Amino acid sequence: MGKPPRVTVLGSLNMDISVTVPRLPGPGMTVLGDAARFTPGGKGANQAMAAARLGAQVRMVGAVGDDDFGRQLTEALGSEGIDARAVGVATGVPTGLAMITVDSAGENIITVAPGANHHVGESAAGGIAGIPYDALVISAEVPVPVIRAALELACGTAPGATPCVLNLAPAPPEAPAIVAGGVDWLVVNESEAAAILGLPGIDGMAQAQEAATALTAAGARNAVVTVGAEGAALAGLSVPKATPKATPKASPKAATQAVAVGGFKVTAVDSVGAGDTFVGALAVALAAGVPVLDAVRAAVAAGATAVTRHGAQAGMPRPADILATTGLRWPLSWS
């Protein structure tokens, strides 16, 4: 059966304040919702939680404030067996907050006050290089210099040897330059891919496949563009030349082909955390050596399961949940 893969996550930790409303408000509108829920979140912490629940041994690197929210966030990580010793405490700075509004269809609006996440220093990235791991995840709610330092120190020595997954969500203004500098695995959604490529938008799987191919030309060794309920588009050097389970789409001059990995039919109640679940699941599968297309399909199934449950970390699935919801058996098990 082997040992659980080791996954290190460099990213944000936030306290999520969520309210469910009948419909999302427009500019100048006030919409009444239910009682506010305070739950642990932040893209980095969410990805760490997803990875831990799917069988990885996880270490979290980031920062919280010296306040009750910060203590609650680190305690939540510890309750899932995540090593939070590399989560620093920023004195005199509040813990990050995310204000989330979710409608009856599961769509959401999120506003983030970064707080301590913007006090993660480049020294945190330097420390990653000395920590053994089988996959590294970097998310974009920490300062860009930290992202650059982590990519250079931890992912630049032997590209592809150990999976390094960069989730540029949200995509910072420097995103095109970051990708041009070289990325092992880039994971973004349609709007983030459009921002990186300078496009007005990306709509649907066909355009997502074209975008994934364009992202590999822009500097990503492998690129994944998630497409909500439709699944994900994948392009890159690790993609097999042909497969009966995926739909190829690439121009004759493209250096890599793009494939569509289909989604699963589920009833969505809350999409918050689904993308983070996808990233965490993909990192675990890649770290364990699961074939690339199987790894992406497993990540799609994990994300689909997450949208059927309320909350970010509260909705992160375990293997049994994925099987019950999508019929896909999680491809890893440990003795």
Residues with catalytic function: 276
- The candidate with the shortest Cα–Cα distance to 11, out of 75, 60, 55, 72, is 60
Residue 135, beta-bridge partner list:
7
Cα separation, 261 vs 228, in Å, equals: 11
- Whether the Cβ atoms of residue 259 and residue 296 lie closer than 8 Å to each other: no
Taking alpha carbons only, the member of 85, 14, 63, 46 closest to residue 281 is 46
SS3 335: coil
274 CB-side CA count, 13 A: 27
- The answer to whether 323 and 301 are in contact (CB under 8 A) is no
Phi, psi of 76 (to 5 degrees): -65, -40
Amino acid at 28: G
Q: Judge contact between 277 and 317, C-beta under 8 A.
A: yes
Q: Which amino acid makes up residue 195?
A: A
Task: Identify how many contiguous H helices and E strands the chain contains and give both numbers.
Answer: 10, 14
Residue 167, both tokens: 């989730």
Cis peptide before 173 (omega within 30 of 0): no
Question: Which residue(s) pair with 116 in the sheet?
Answer: none
